[in-house]
């Protein structure tokens, strides 16, 4: 189904092969089955099926393929391919490879490759945590002991034709289970709205091109803290990139992500042109609710998220890498919405008419530096799959 919540079975003790069965549980979900009733969720390892959640309708058959898990010497690994939601319009299948690695030293981390398993994003270090920094330990969610369910509170997954999103929250019996120590990891792989003039041309240049965007964040110690963030131990990493894109000269390139504290990709700070990508609404600017006269509760607006492939201000075109290699692509990200800051917790439902949307808290907002921001940016995804029409 389109939404799943995974709750660890072993919250107080470490168990060997726990992580292998966790990846098996997610594999079951991506293969279009009710993971909570499968054998992988009913034993003594992995996620607890009876405490888990599934909701919504499944993705179209074939959108997710080659879904496999493996047990590694230092943890576990889940691999799969995701096709663009409008892949049927191409001569071929624009798609990207996703690899989720889990180890006790480097936590949960996710990297994106082209269809051939090459050109890794957001950087070439497979030990890099989910936030995207090249320093692995800065992004590890959980920071240690990730082979076990004991270090997790929950994992939330959205899987539909346009979107694969995952939210990892530490807790359980591990060290990071208090409001001031809980860590949050978030990743969204989301398709740009199909534009035949641009996308068919770009795919014809190179079939590793895929009009899909990779957003990733790691938020340490601050997202679960109800108080004003304390200085010192908090940090946050945030990045946005199109893993394979065509630059302004017509050359296919691997997307660039500089995730330092959300500063470069937050959409607030630059005064000249850069090849950093961002989103609109700008990630570091707040979104409020809307007061409705006579209503008991405020209205939470669903603002479509748009991809902006490059910061573009008044600086003239130049000849250095910042100008030549930047990504001119812009477009709406399908079934991906920004809603009111702090309006809900991960997995909660908000309604727009009769349509149900699931919430993920993506990152901190309201400050150019997310580690000192005070509000949580909430994003909404439809619970039911929305197939290409």
Burial class of residue 163 (count of CB atoms within 10 Å of its CB; 0-12, 13-18, 19+): buried
Q: What is the mean pLDDT of the chain?
A: 89
Q: What are phi and psi of 382, to 5 degrees?
A: -60, 140
Taking only the tens place, the pLDDT of each residue in 352-366 is 989 999 999 999 999
Q: Which residues of 129-139 are buried (b: 16+ CB within 10 A; e: fewer)?
A: bbbbbbebebb
Start-to-end C-alpha separation, the chain: 19
Q: 0.85 exceeded by the pTM? A: yes
Q: Are 255 and 122 in contact (CB under 8 A)?
A: yes
75-83 sheet: strands from edge to edge: 64-72, 75-83, 95-103, 107-113
Token couple for 122: 């957001």
pLDDT at 294: 66
With 70 as the cut, is the pLDDT of residue 119 above it?
Answer: yes
**Three-state SS for 203?**
helix
Q: Are 207 and 179 in contact (CB under 8 A)?
A: no
Other CB atoms within 10 A of residue 205 CB:
12
Name the one residue in this structure whose structure tokens are 């074939």. 62
Strands 75-83 and 212-220, sheet pairing: unpaired
pLDDT at 143: 77
With 80 as the cut, is the pLDDT of residue 247 above it?
Answer: yes
pLDDT at 86: 97
Taking only the tens place, the pLDDT of each residue in 1-39 is 699 999 999 888 888 888 899 999 999 999 999 999 999
């Amino acid at each position: 189904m389109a939404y799943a919540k995974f709750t660890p079975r072993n919250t107080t003790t470490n168990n060997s092969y726990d992580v292998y069965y966790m990846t098996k549980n997610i594999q079951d979900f991506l293969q279009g089955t009710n993971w909570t009733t499968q054998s992988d969720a009913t034993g003594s390892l992995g996620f607890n099926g009876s405490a888990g959640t599934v909701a919504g309708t499944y993705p179209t058959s074939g959108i997710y393929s080659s879904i496999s898990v493996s047990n590694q010497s230092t943890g576990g690994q889940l691999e799969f391919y995701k096709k663009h939601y409008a892949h049927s319009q191409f001569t071929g299948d624009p798609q990207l490879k996703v690899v989720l690695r889990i180890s006790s030293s480097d936590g949960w981390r996710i990297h994106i490759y082209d269809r051939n398993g090459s050109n890794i994003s957001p950087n070439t270090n497979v030990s890099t945590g989910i936030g995207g920094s090249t320093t692995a330990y800065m992004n590890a969610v959980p920071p240690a002991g990730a082979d076990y369910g004991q270090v997790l509170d929950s994992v939330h997954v959205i899987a539909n034709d346009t979107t694969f999103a995952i939210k990892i929250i530490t807790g359980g019996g591990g060290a990071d289970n208090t409001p001031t120590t809980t860590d949050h990891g978030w990743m969204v792989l989301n398709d740009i709205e199909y534009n035949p003039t641009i996308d068919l041309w770009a795919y014809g240049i190179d079939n590793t091109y895929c009009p899909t965007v990779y957003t990733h964040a790691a938020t340490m110690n601050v997202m679960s803290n109800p108080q004003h963030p304390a200085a010192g131990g908090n940090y946050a990493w945030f990045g946005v990139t199109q893993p394979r894109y065509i630059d302004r000269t017509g050359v296919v390139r691997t997307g660039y992500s500089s995730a330092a504290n959300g500063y470069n990709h937050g959409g607030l700070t630059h005064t000249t042109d850069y090849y950093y990508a961002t989103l609109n609404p700008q990630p570091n600017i707040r979104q409020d609710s809307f007061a409705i006269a006579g209503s008991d509760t405020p209205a939470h607006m669903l603002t479509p998220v748009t991809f902006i492939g490059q910061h573009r201000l008044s600086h003239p075109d130049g000849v250095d890498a910042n100008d030549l290699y930047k990504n001119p692509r812009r477009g709406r990200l399908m079934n991906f919405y920004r809603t009111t800051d702090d309006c809900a917790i991960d997995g909660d439902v908000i309604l727009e008419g009769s349509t149900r949307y699931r919430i993920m808290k993506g990152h901190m907002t309201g400050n150019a530096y997310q580690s000192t921001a005070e509000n949580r940016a909430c994003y909404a995804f439809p619970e039911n799959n929305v197939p290409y029409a």
